[in-house]
A = this chain, B = another copy of it.
Amino acid sequence: MGFSVVGQNLPRLEGKEKVTGQAKYIDDLNFPNMLHGKLLRSPYPHARIVAIDTAAAKALPGVKAIITAEDLPDRRHGPFVQDTPLLARGKVNYVGEPVAAVAAVSLEVAERALSLIKVNYERLSEVLDPLIAMESDAPVVHENLDAYPAVFPVQRHGNICSLITIEDGDIEQGFKTADFVFEDTFTTPMAHQCHLETNGAIAAIDAQGRVTVWASTQSVHLNQIRIAETLDMPMSKVRVIQTRVGGGFGAKVELTVQPYCVALARLSKRPVKIILTREEELVATRPRHSSIVTVKTGVKKDGTLVARQIKLIYDTGAYADDGPGIVGFGSLMANGPYRIPNYKIEGYCVYTNKVATGAYRGFGNPQAAWACESQLDIISRELGIDPLEIRLRNALDPGDKTVGGQNLFSVGIKECLKAIKEGMDWESPKSKNRGRGVACVHHLSGLLASSAYVRINQDGTAHVAVGAADIGQGSDTTMAQIAAEELGLSIEDVAVVSQDTDSTPYNWATTATRLTYMAGNAVRRAAADAKQQLINLAAEVLGLPADKLSARNKVVVSVDEPQKRISYAELGVISHWVKGGQIIGNNSWMFNEQPFSIDVKVTGFPFRVLGAYNYGAHAVEVEVDHETGLVRVVNALTAHDVGKAINPLSVEGQSQGGFTQGVGYALFEDLKVKDGKIISNTLLDYKIPTAVDVPAIKSLIVETNEQTGPFGAKGIGEAPLVPVAPAIANAVYDAIGVRVKDLPLTPERILDALKV
């Protein structure tokens, strides 16, 4: 099938405005009479709030509003478990937890007001280590879990926020049939999303009490729902508008500062802006869960995987947030893109008195993949099988099932492995201190619902309104390409409406590698609906049967008599002025409803039929300095099966961006905690990769034409981060023969390992 717009390497629609500095981010917006908000945060990991005295702060000239928990609905919220108060109520559970919010005429006055709020705390024993937290005599973060409704049934008790178990086959029997059994434990640290633009929002209230929120967000719709829920407002009174987003990576899906802006604006009747500082981001927002993952794998001599048991312990910090989902998803992904007939996976999400953790590119998969892809390397080397070869032998094929039991259509993992084998010249000789490593990933593209409208303008161009928040990954361009392809328009003819709950129909969020697949499906279907209406109108005007007409290049034309034709512009004039009114295509799309059977035992996790799976394999070459312990990635090759690359340029960008973030996760990033407090509180202390830390990354695209995706597409967003750390660690082993099981691979750890 030949495509006109899909498959083209198109620069971002909004690229020019970004590179010329004209793009408006949240902090570029200012309104007349706008106030500046700040949050007072807990200095303790666990303490009872005896009293809060805001009198002195309220008396400070320029202070226009102060709120504490008393001023808000007595309601906790959370995407999985409703355990989180907007402002601490009764006690604080982590260092950095918001206790009060202030709005003042300037940031300086707001900060001074914070210093005048007196909070009388009574310290409580804290629990900071998830393994201790799981003991029966540990201090308890939340005294009464039953008081917190769970959105879906959750297995929980004590500090265990949720437990998921997934099993299939016969795990005992599986291990019995194995020639070898390996058991290893791996750990990962907390890691921060480090979106270059910190979280921020502005809220304004109109005279009728309707609130408008401008926010740097991954979902205006989820923001709208959450603001309404947490502040007891009907959704009809809440409008959320997305500003340009300087990176999100999961950190901007759920609310951050939005509800405080709204509450302060309601009280002061003035617009309120809150922009988090980098320190607040690092100390008090929701980084990736630290993890302890134990993997026991049974394998035949020839490398065939026969049984696997995994125990994942993810530290969710003081509140659940996305934790149950992240652990659940990590558990579903943990076996990787391999056929393993017998398995049992247990995922623990554990409360501690640390910052609440949350969604970050990969959503639980990187921790699981770190463990399992590292161990597979251990196995391959013990068995004397090439690590790339052992992956090929066990790799999934189309027709196999996922963990969770969904039937798979397109599966390109073998093609990815073959592509990197060839692209890296895998078996060629290596220099001294250099080694090569490989690791794989499979990842979901999908989940929940997306809607789109496509309107045909009078001149035959189109407006596409779809709940698909472009957060810098280029989805607006992808959506325009899908609509243009389906409608037979050029990219210039398609306007993609920016995210605004007044304009764009519901979409869950830009998350779960789902936009191209889910929103793309909604756009394609809405566009097909509009196209069919164009064809039907043309049939009436031309006096020909609709099924003998085709629509492309802005013309509806007779299949048999090509001289019989009518342009979209002519049809636009007819529909607007004479017949039927504006043509509007419309679609709400939900993958969950597709009839893909599942018969695996899953407890504690709500979703089973999820979406399409994308696949990837990375090969890296590293050079390790024996004296300093420094690991340098000298060569990087990624291959991803995205079904169909709607915009190959974007797919490459995502591959390279994800790989780069993976290098940080592998080598440097560690959100260090001391006495419950995050001490990596600047970007000097929390190092992320710069240009000198990353080699030129070669990105290969594998296309497998997913039958459930728009034009065969699946997705790419999260996957490229996932295999990077194990690929690098495996290459380090290849280079210097030492195995590090704890991230990051700092020089200290390398030197320590070399000493053993």
Contacts and interface: CB of A to CB of B under 8 A. Distances in A.
Contact of A590 (B207, B455, B580): B580
Given A493-B234, A498-B502, A449 B13 contact: no
A475 interface: no
A502 B465 contact: yes
A202 to B, nearest CB: 16
Nearest to A18: B207
A503 B500 contact: yes
Nearest to A208: B16
Contacts of A22: 206-207
A337 B522 CA distance: 50
Given A581-B451, A588-B580, A236 B492 contact: yes
A463 interface: yes
Interface in A472-514: 492-495, 497-498, 500-503, 505-506, 508
Specify how many copies of this chain sit in the oligomer: 2
Interface stretch (A58-66, A162-170, A287-295, A571-579): A571-579
Given A13-B208, A14-B208, A17-B206, A502 B463 contact: yes
A206 B22 CA distance: 8
Contacts of A580: 449, 588, 590, 593
A495 B502 contact: yes
Nearest to A491: B236
A505 B588 contact: no
A530 to B, nearest CB: 11
Interface string A581-599: 1111010111011000000
Interface of A: 13-14, 16-17, 20, 22-23, 206-208, 210, 224-225, 228-229, 234-237, 239, 448-451, 453, 455, 457-459, 461-463, 465, 492-495, 497-498, 500-503, 505-506, 508, 522, 575-584, 586, 588-590, 592-593
B579 A583 contact: no
Given A498-B502, A503-B502, A506-B576, A458 B206 contact: no
22 contacts: A23-B207, A236-B492, A239-B495, A448-B577, A449-B577, A449-B582, A451-B584, A457-B506, A463-B501, A465-B502, A500-B502, A500-B503, A502-B503, A503-B503, A505-B584, A506-B581, A578-B592, A579-B593, A581-B588, A581-B590, A583-B588, A584-B586
A579 B584 contact: no
Nearest to A235: B457
A462 B581 contact: no
Contacts of A237: 492, 495
A325 to B, nearest CB: 13
The 6 closest A-B pairs by CB, nearest first: A581-B588, A17-B207, A506-B582, A449-B581, A503-B503, A236-B461
A187 to B, nearest CB: 34
The listed residue with most B CB atoms (<10 A of its CB), out of A210, A503, A592, is A503
Contact of A493 (B236, B239, B508): B236
Contacts of A234: 459, 461, 492-493
Given A457-B236, A583-B588, A502 B497 contact: yes
Contacts of A451: 581-582, 584
A138 to B, nearest CB: 34
Given A16-B208, A17-B207, 6 more contacts: A228-B459, A236-B463, A236-B494, A455-B505, A581-B588, A586-B586
The listed residue with most B CB atoms (<10 A of its CB), out of A461, A579, A589, is A461
Contacts of A465: 502-503
B588 A495 contact: no
A235 B461 contact: yes
A579 B505 CA distance: 16
